[in-house]
Structure 1
């Protein structure tokens, strides 16, 4: 195996793109329907890649996918220079926790994205 790129289902793709742009991600690919509706965006920041897809685009295809935002998923993102990154985004998003040193030696902070998914950013010493 080489990598993992979660495909995260969302209700509002444009709002999701706006939110993740604040975190330093860029749209590197997207899919638009023949009717002109954007239904998928691939966003990257360094070597981290997320795929975002609308719930509407899979209607009737994958019934096991919950139609609600958020859920029991935590996206754990390893970063370098966490203090610099934290200072860069802290005034643009709502944080759940500030920078904290964990008992296992990581420095972390957490936030919820606009879809109610939990993101934890960490740097390990």
Structure 2
């Protein structure tokens, strides 16, 4: 295995693209290239997220719930976590502020515009 890139199903893909741009992600691919977007790939450093509309699923993959949010938490390692937190804390819904965990990492958690949780972490020296 080489990598994992979650494909996150969303209701409003354009709103999702704008949200993730606030976090520093860049839009790298859309399908289709013109017209109504049903799929987008976004990257930030070596982190890759794919977003796809529920509507584009049709009847495929019936086990995918057709609702935003879920029991999946994206755990994202980053650098300069305190600087990043200060840059975005007033632009997003912070669920858990900066804290040092019992296992030594510094973390914070936010909720994206689709009710998915993102936890950012850094092993500060």
Q: Structure 1 length normalisation: TM-score? A: 0.95
- 1:116 aligned to 2:83? no
**Cα distance in 1 between the residues matched to 2:80 and 2:2:** 24
Say if 1:33 and 1:39, in contact at 8 Å, map to a contact too: no
Q: Number of paired residues?
A: 124
Aligned to 1:21: 21
Coordinate RMSD, CA, aligned: 1.2
Q: CA deviation at 1:59?
A: 1.1
Q: CA deviation at 1:124?
A: 1.4
Aligned to 1:3: 3
Aligned to 2:87: 88
Q: CA deviation at 1:33?
A: 7.8
**Cα distance in 2 between the residues matched to 1:52 and 1:111:** 18
Q: Structure 2 length normalisation: TM-score? A: 0.95
**Cα distance in 2 between the residues matched to 1:85 and 1:51:** 22
Q: CA deviation at 1:25?
A: 0.4
Q: Please list every run of 5 or more consecutive structure 1 residues that lacks an aligned counterpart in the other structure.
A: none
